[in-house]
Amino acid sequence: MKHKTIGRIALLTLAALLLLPVLTACGTSDSEPAAQSAGSQTDNAENQPEPVSEPAENNAENTEAQSGTTLVAVFSATGTTLGVAEKIAAIESADLYEITAAQPYSSADLNWNDSSSRSTKEQNDKNARPAIGSDPVDLDGYTKIYVGFPIWWGEEPRILDTFVESYDFDGITMIPFCTSSSSGIGRSGQNLAEHAGSGNWLDGKRFSGGVSEADLRAWIEGLN
């Protein structure tokens, strides 16, 4: 009996030794995919670009720049008045807002020699209100607004009437300016003030497209 017991123990021990590699292999097979999957997720996460966040100081500077007290709002069909507006904005460290038409003006639209051109028809119609295509501007925090435009047929373009009728300028000093080759600002400033119905409107001034920064600075200093 003793020899049979020893023999059985030996056989069981041998069987266990033979099964050990198989069990080990099965265990490895189950765990490797999970380990690889976890590793892949980690690599992907490390390779993803991190969200870009500006330092607190930069954010503060951007907020300050966007919350200035002076705005230059300008409509410029050909870019001439825009150039003057940019100079004023630079002198005043002001924000710049361009009023654009929902339907841009073509050269044919601006032909003042054509009685059937778009601009001629608009200027002959006091009730014309061309749609604005640029996003609305938030006037919160502004205390002074320059309003620039070219002179068309002796007056402000009708899209300026659209603009001033779209906002409340209470508590804001409004300063109109225009560009033209020869015509003065005429009644444009008064027209805008009447259409706006709000704001403290100062007398406007006409400039040539090539006005110097020195002349603009002298005008601005004279307003204060």
Alpha-carbon dihedral angle through residues 78, 81, 87, 91, given to the nearest 10 degrees: -150
Per-residue pLDDT, averaged over 152-177, amounts to: 98
Fold that domain 68-223 belongs to in CATH:
Rossmann fold (3.40.50)
State the Cα–Cα distance between residues 41 and 38, nearest whole angstrom: 5
- H or E stretch at 13: helix 2-47
pLDDT, residue 189, reads: 97
Q: Is the pTM of this model over 0.95?
A: no
Q: Which 3 state secondary structure label does DSSP give 19? A: helix
Per-residue pLDDT, averaged over 49-56, amounts to: 31
Per-residue pLDDT, averaged over 199-203, amounts to: 97
Q: Which of 45-59, 137-151, 182-196 has the lowest mean pLDDT?
A: 45-59
State the Cα–Cα distance between residues 115 and 123, nearest whole angstrom: 11
Sign of CA dihedral 149, 152, 156, 157: negative
Q: Is the pLDDT of residue 57 over 50?
A: no
Q: Is the pLDDT of residue 21 over 80?
A: no
Q: Is the pLDDT of residue 106 over 90?
A: yes
What single-letter amino acid sits at 82? Answer: L
31 pLDDT band, cuts 50/70/90, is very low
Encode pLDDT of 111-145 as tens digits.
Answer: 999 999 999 999 999 999 999 999 999 999 999 99
Q: Which 3 state secondary structure label does DSSP give 205? A: strand
pLDDT, residue 18, reads: 44
Average pLDDT, the chain: 79
